[in-house]
Amino acid sequence: MPLALLALAVGAFGIGTTEFVMMGLLPEVADDLNISIPTAGHLVSAYALGVVIGAPLLAAVTARMSRRTVLIGLMALFVAGNALSAFAPGNESLLAARFLSGLPHGAFFGVGAVVATTMVPPERKARSVSLMFLGLTVANIAGVPVATLMGQHLGWRATFLGVSVIGLAAIASLAALIPHDHTHATATGVRGELAALRSLPVWLALGTTVAGFGALFSAYSYVTPMLTDAAGFAESNVTLLLALFGVGATAGNLLGGRLADHSLRGTLFGGLTSLAAVLLLFPVLMRAQWSAALAIALLGMAAFITGSPLQLMVMEKASAAPSLASSANQAAFNLANAGGAWIGGLALAAGFGATSPALAGAALAVLGLGVASVAYAVDRRRVPAGGRKRLVASHVPQEAEALHR
């Protein structure tokens, strides 16, 4: 695997850290800015809104630019947003800075996934995407806990300054390791990229992401009350248990990338089936502490096995112009976050018990399987068998041919 993937992973590490660290710093931010915890929670929503808006918008307007230049520019915007967050004088300015920080998130992963697949042979493209996502999963193991401790001991502003430094390291890595001659975007432009979104299979692939990762967030958003109320853990142990989720997610991400290179569809369907099974077992696994800890690790593994396949599925369905569709998939991940948490909350509010959000998540995973099945069925009707093989390979742009020459 080329070293350039390391540069993408460094950027992903910084993005993953800033996305999730705010959840752990809400009390410190609320105290410092004299606002309530629920009001401070809007800072999480502001970042997610930036991701949803920025992912398709920035991917579309940069469609004719060199992808290397786009990645560096997106990371520069990321650094600016986090630096402004560190120096924000009040809640309104911090909201704006968090929104700005979220804008490059989806486009970076979307364009980065396309770049990653152009630097490797076709039979390794899923592994290349999983190595980029490795930065995101490692952020949950190391980046978020360290950044949270930094915020608690040095102040929350120091955390965002530290994340800005990670962003500067990513810029240096991208400039040094991403080759010039392998990153030029195709000449489709904005119209060509937007045309990809008119395809029903693309929307079905995006729907699979929303349902599949909605299953994860339906349970994960309420994992603390599950661990404390159902499994009997003390709240002080939850942080360590969440690190187990990160370990499982990292293992699942790497496993999913390797398996998807052999069978994209098989890995996707197997991952969603495993996710549904794990979530269905949550009420049983949460009865003992050892099995509850195992459940958290298995949840991370089962969910992130599908990460690379979902990204590649969208790129496959939008083979003529993958950058916008790939970035839109990142917006879909964030919609899954919000929608899954809402559905899990409905189950909890209805009085079905502490583990009911996991059962709601299992239903979403089954829904994801159904949507994926329809996507592949529609694709089979639209593309002959011989053309389908060419379509799968065609999302690797012309620069990949130059690489192999």
pLDDT 10s digit of each residue in the chain, 405 long? 678 888 999 999 999 898 878 877 777 888 888 888 777 778 877 888 888 888 888 887 887 788 888 999 999 999 999 999 999 999 999 999 999 999 999 889 888 888 888 888 888 888 888 888 888 888 878 887 888 788 888 888 999 999 999 999 999 999 988 887 544 445 455 666 666 667 788 889 889 999 998 999 888 878 878 888 888 888 778 778 878 888 999 999 999 988 998 888 999 999 999 999 999 999 999 999 999 999 999 999 999 999 888 888 888 777 666 777 778 888 888 888 878 888 888 888 888 888 899 999 999 999 999 999 998 888 776 655 444 444 444 444 444 443 343
What pLDDT, on the 0 to 100 scale, is given for residue 388? 47
Residue 120: what are its φ and ψ, rounded to 5°? -135, 160
- What pLDDT is recorded for position 181? 55
Which domains are delineated in the chain?
1-185 (1.20.1250.20), 196-405 (1.20.1250.20)
d(CA 36, CA 297): 33
For the chain, helix (H) and strand (E) counts, in that order, are 19, 0
CA distances from 141 to 13, 114, 148, 164, 239 (A): 10, 26, 12, 19, 10
Task: Tell me how far apart the alpha carbons of residues 4 and 97 are, in angstroms, rounded to a whole number.
Answer: 29
- The pLDDT of residue 312 is 85
Closest CA to 128 of 405, 396, 376: 396
Q: What is the pLDDT of residue 401?
A: 42
For 99, residues 6+ apart whose C-beta sits below 8 A from its C-beta are: 46, 47, 49, 50, 81
pTM of the model: 0.78
